[in-house]
Chains A and B, each alone.
Chain A
Amino acid sequence: MRKRLTLWVFVLPGLLLYAVLFVYPALAGLFYSFTDWDGLSPSFQITGWKNYDTVLHSLVFQKALWNNLKFMAAVVFGQTLLSLVLALLLSGNRRIYVPLRALFFFPAILSTVSVGLIWSFVYDPGIGLLQGLFNLLGAEGLAPSWVGDRRIAIYSIAAVQVWAHTGQMMIVFIAGLQGIPAELKDAAAIDGGGRWRIFRSVTWPLLAPSATIVIAYTTIQSFKAFDLIFTMTDGGPNNATEIITTYIYHLAFSSYSFGEASAGSALFLVLLAALTWLQFKALRADRISY
């Protein structure tokens, strides 16, 4: 019994901090989602589910949700594929691989603000690196407007996200690959399997847990992306890169609709909770099959 009491002393400071500075504001935010508070006024009215109704029907919210899905799809697809390919290329033990891994990983330690500004420079239609590349090839007029064209802007930003985090995911895959016993592959090779067959029948199934992790992590990260869009386009042009988090931010701080922003947050929370739950489930399922 004394042991349990001591253990609670271990838990208490953290729990207290967490309860007061994290849980309480989250619940308070939930409360405001049922009010018409503007974030400034001393008083507000309880408005029930009205904010939820408004947000769900808001054209901008719908656009943001749709953009978010496009962004997520692009990032998850691009990042997973690319990091897997790089991991397969770099999983061996050659000397040169170590610095290469570090290099590919490097963008992950830069702050998103820096990454955003660096890529704003790359994408700049006047002085940008990509424009320079097109000029070099003698195709001045053919360079697309990377972040200005509403059809591709969200993908241009997705590419930046991929650039920044592929190396990180590559390491996860490499760890997974190094966990696969070499004898298994050798055995398959002796059996006369081609490279592709070895990959399909040996490597890939054993890599599935890593893949699940990468996909799950990437999915959630891409939903939360805020800093990058805030730095690069702030949701423009014409809301083409507005995602849910920037939408909530704009509602609260440019439109002074704090109640609605809270409702948006609560909806976002439900969405993320669902995604996280799926992640847990997928991970657990894999553990059994492993």
Chain B
Amino acid sequence: MRTYSYRPALRAAALAVLLLTAACSNNAASSAQNKESAAPSAPVAAESTQSTENVKPEEVTLSFLHWRGEDVPAFTDIIGKFQTEYPHIKVEMQTLPSDQYQTAALAKIAGGDAGDVFASFPGAQFEAVAKAGLYTDLSAEPYAANFNEALIEAGVKEGKRLAIPYQLVYNDPIYNVKLFDKLGLTPPDDWEGFLALCAKLKENGLIPIAFAGADIGPGQFMNTMVMNNLPSDDAFTKVESGEAKLTDEWWVKTLSQIKELNDKGYFQPNALGTKDAAAGALFIQEKAAILASGSYQLAQNKAQNPELEQKLLAPITVEAGQAKYEGIHTSTFLLGISTKSKHPEEAKTFLEFLSRPEIAGQYANATGQNVTVKGVEYTTPELQTATEWAGKKTLFQPRFTITNGENQKAVTNSIQAVLGGASPEEAAKEAQAVVDQQIAK
């Protein structure tokens, strides 16, 4: 039986008061903060003599929306410089973690209340935003010439430049140079050689390839594995339109090669249950010689183990001399200007600023990310490692040529399926069935 007494009520009330006071004090603090952040632009601009004409330019505030929380310090510096040069433009940066970026950011941009300048991913997200008509046409912008033309193609659709990729990533596996040297190994140039390399690593008690099968692994590794098996660069596009199939020889072959690596024990045990973090850890501790991710992880690995010496290597899945490509590149972080923006001209000014080599260089060296801007000087060994690849023949990440999200998932799922024991044919068939449903829509 419950006894009714006032004590619990009192305690609950006390609790409520406690919570309330905490909430109230926060209210006060945050509103004070708001005032602070809303106020400053006015006096600064009033005193500014920067404008070339004597007409005072109109005060504007731009919203800059992206997903790279780790780049905030670097961008804050850059925005500071920008605001010194253009005192009438204030840039407010807002970041969302990448998994939420898809949810909240796009809705915000579509609603027009954020993202005068915003970043997007290539592939499915770029297509969706383009289809919704949210990109301002940047075809006539002269500063596009500051970029490496070949690298910013990913932002072009039907002849119009809708967005400009800012970051350059080489999605090739990373290898531990010291371990390779110790065993006298060099990156091989054919499939037999790659298998022999893995065998040698394994014999020496190392995990040949650390593979994050549970999350990013399949989506990263599939690119280098498929690049030389592709009958044409647009094979995945053809799959989406129904002109080619995942059950075709090239994808089945790719799946069986991945399966071969797995069956021979060249991935760490239980690769499918391993997440990004755990796979990275194996490489950082030098238990694994190769990490199937991409250049974007170089800086982070180094930070955790300063002794590491890292380079990139792409498995060549065909015989020597038949390889069309040496590796994969992705230009991502596609900067666009929302059609809902009330200040497109100022947004363009900000884009122009970012496209200057010295600013892009500052960004790159502060964040450890390569950029698509020409003439940038990289100062860290990790960034230089990636730069070596600029001269190589690389293919734009095939995964991002798949523009339908469900198809993209079906493709990476087929890799998980073979790792889970399915035959390449079965896995390909299962994935093709999903693609067929998308085509039928």
Contacts and interface: CB of A to CB of B under 8 A. Distances in A.
Interface of A: 38-42, 54, 57-60, 120, 123-127, 141, 143, 145-150, 233-234, 236-240, 250-251, 253-257
Contacts of A240: 420
Contacts of B404: 255
Contacts of B420: 148-150, 237-238, 240
Interface in B396-412: 404-406, 409
Given A42-B132, A149-B273, A125 B268 contact: yes
A278 to B, nearest CB: 29
Contacts of B131: 38, 40-41
Given A39-B106, A40-B132, A41-B131, A237 B213 contact: yes
Contact of A148 (B132, B274, B409, B441): B274
Contacts of B275: 120, 124
Nearest to B110: A40
Given A126-B268, A239-B413, 17 more contacts: A40-B106, A42-B110, A59-B433, A59-B434, A120-B275, A124-B274, A125-B269, A126-B278, A145-B269, A148-B420, A149-B272, A150-B417, A237-B416, A237-B420, A238-B420, A254-B124, A255-B409
B101 to A, nearest CB: 10
Contacts of B268: 125-126
User: Which 7 A-B pairs rank lowest in CB-CB distance, beginning with the nearest?
Assistant: A148-B273, A148-B272, A125-B270, A255-B405, A40-B132, A145-B270, A237-B416
A57 B437 contact: yes
B214 A147 contact: yes
Nearest to A131: B270
A238 B405 CA distance: 14
Interface of B: 102-103, 106-107, 110, 124, 128-129, 131-134, 213-215, 268-275, 278, 281-282, 404-406, 409, 413-414, 416-417, 419-420, 430, 433-434, 437, 441
Contacts of A256: 124, 128, 405
A254 B132 contact: no
Given A40-B110, A126-B268, A253-B103, A238 B273 contact: no
18 contacts: A40-B106, A40-B110, A41-B131, A41-B132, A41-B133, A42-B132, A59-B430, A124-B275, A125-B269, A141-B269, A146-B273, A148-B271, A149-B272, A237-B413, A238-B414, A240-B420, A254-B405, A256-B128
Interface of B is mostly: helix
Contacts of A60: 406, 434
A39 B107 CA distance: 7
B417 A40 contact: no
Contacts, number: 114
Most buried by A among B124, B271, B404, B409: B409
Nearest to B436: A59
Contacts of A145: 269-270, 272-273
Contacts of B270: 125, 143, 145, 148
B274 A238 contact: no
A223 B53 CA distance: 65
Given A40-B106, A59-B437, A145-B272, A254 B409 contact: yes
B350 to A, nearest CB: 23
Residue from B131, B215, B271, B273 with most neighbouring chain A CB atoms (10 Å): B273
Contacts of A239: 413
Contacts of B433: 59
Contact of B441 (A54, A126, A237): A54
A55 to B, nearest CB: 10
Nearest to B111: A40
Nearest to A235: B409
Contacts of B128: 38, 40, 256
Contacts of B133: 41-42
A40 B102 contact: no
Nearest to B207: A126
A256 B213 CA distance: 25
Contacts of B282: 126
B132 A124 contact: no
A256 B126 CA distance: 11
Given A39-B106, A145-B270, A255 B124 contact: yes
Contacts of B434: 59-60
A283 B414 CA distance: 45
A236 B416 contact: yes
A237 B272 contact: yes
A171 to B, nearest CB: 14
B134 A40 contact: yes
A140 to B, nearest CB: 8
Contacts of A57: 437
Contacts of B132: 38, 40-42
Contacts of A146: 273
B269 A123 contact: no
B416 A126 contact: no
A114 to B, nearest CB: 16
A125 B406 contact: no
A47 to B, nearest CB: 10
A253 B437 contact: no
A147 B215 CA distance: 11
Contacts of B269: 125, 141, 145
A123 B441 CA distance: 39
A234 B413 CA distance: 12
A251 B406 CA distance: 8
A39 B215 CA distance: 25
B110 A148 contact: no
Contact of A234 (B129, B215, B272, B417): B215
A228 B205 CA distance: 36
A255 B274 contact: no
